[in-house]
Amino acid sequence: MEAKRSIVHMDLDSYFVSVERLFDSRLNGKPILIGGSGDRGVVASCSYEARKFGVHSAMPMRTARQLCPEALIIRGDFEKYSQKSHEVTEIIREEVPLFEKSSIDEFYIDLTGMDRFFGCFKLSQQIRQRIIKETGLPISLGLSENKTVSKVATGEAKPNNEKQILFGEEKPFLAPLSVRKIPMIGEKTSQTLYNMGVKKVQTLQQMPAELLQATFGKNGNMIWEKANGIDRSPVTPYSEAKSISTENTFEQDTIDVKMLEATLVAMCEQLTGKLRQNLQLTACVSVKIRYSDFDTHTMQQRIPYTSADHTLIPLVKELFRKLYNRRILIRLIGVRFSSLVYGNYQIKLFEDTQEQINLYQAMDKINGKFGEKTVCRAVGMSVGRRSFNPFNGMAV
195-216 per-position pLDDT tens digit: 999 999 999 999 999 999 999 9
Q: What are the φ and ψ backbone dihedral angles of 269, each rounded to 5 degrees? A: -60, -40
Q: If you classify domain 243-380 with CATH, what class do you get?
A: alpha beta
Confidence check: pLDDT of 185 > 70 = yes
Query: For residue 146, what pLDDT is reported?
Result: 96
Chain Cα centroid distance, residue 341: 10
Q: What is the mean pLDDT of residues 374-396?
A: 45
Q: What is the mean pLDDT of residues 243-272?
A: 92
> Which among 133-147, 266-280, 304-318 has the top mean pLDDT?
133-147
Share the mean pLDDT of the chain: 86
- Fold classified for 172-228: DNA polymerase; domain 1 (1.10.150)
Query: For residue 393, what pLDDT is reported?
Result: 37
Chain Cα centroid distance, residue 368: 15
Q: Where in the chain is the domain with CATH 1.10.150.20?
A: 172-228
Q: What strands lie across the sheet with 162-164, from one edge to the other?
A: 99-103, 106-110, 7-12, 139-144, 162-164
The larger pLDDT score, comparing residue 37 to residue 16, is at 16
Q: Is 115 part of any known ligand binding site? A: no
Query: For residue 366, what pLDDT is reported?
Result: 61
- How many whole angstroms separate alpha carbon 321 and alpha carbon 106? 40
Q: Where in the chain is the domain with CATH 3.30.1490.100?
A: 243-380
329-355 per-position pLDDT tens digit: 999 999 999 988 876 544 444 455 566
Q: What is the mean pLDDT of residues 353-362?
A: 64
Q: What are the φ and ψ backbone dihedral angles of 299, each rounded to 5 degrees? A: -140, 140
The larger pLDDT score, comparing residue 353 to residue 259, is at 259
CATH no., domain 1-144+154-163: 3.30.70.270
Query: Which pLDDT band, with edges at 50, 70 and 90, does 390 fall under?
Result: very low
Confidence check: pLDDT of 369 > 60 = no
Query: For residue 323, what pLDDT is reported?
Result: 92
Catalytic residues: 106
Query: Which pLDDT band, with edges at 50, 70 and 90, does 326 fall under?
Result: confident
Query: For residue 396, what pLDDT is reported?
Result: 23
Q: Is 352 part of any known ligand binding site? A: no
Query: Which pLDDT band, with edges at 50, 70 and 90, does 385 fall under?
Result: very low
Q: Where in the chain is the domain with CATH 3.30.70.270?
A: 1-144+154-163
pTM for this one?
0.74
Q: What is the 3-state secondary structure (H, E, C) of the chain?
A: CCCCCCEEEEEECCHHHHHHHHHCHHHCCCCEEEECCCCCCEEEEECHHHHCCCCCCCCEHHHHHHHCCCCEEECCCHHHHHHHHHHHHHHHHHHCCCEEEEECCEEEEECCCHHHCCCHHHHHHHHHHHHHHHHCCCEEEEEECCHHHHHHHHHHHCCCCEEECCCCCHHHHHCCCEHHHCCCCCHHHHHHHHHCCCCEHHHHHHCCHHHHHHHHCHHHHHHHHHHCCCCCCCCCCCCCEEEEEEEEEEEEEECCHHHHHHHHHHHHHHHHHHHHHCCEEEEEEEEEEEECCCCEEEEEEEEEEECCHHHHHHHHHHHHHHHCCCCCCEEEEEEEEECCEECCHHHCCCCCCHHHHHHHHHHHHHHHHHCCCCCCCHHHHCCCCCCCCCEEEECC
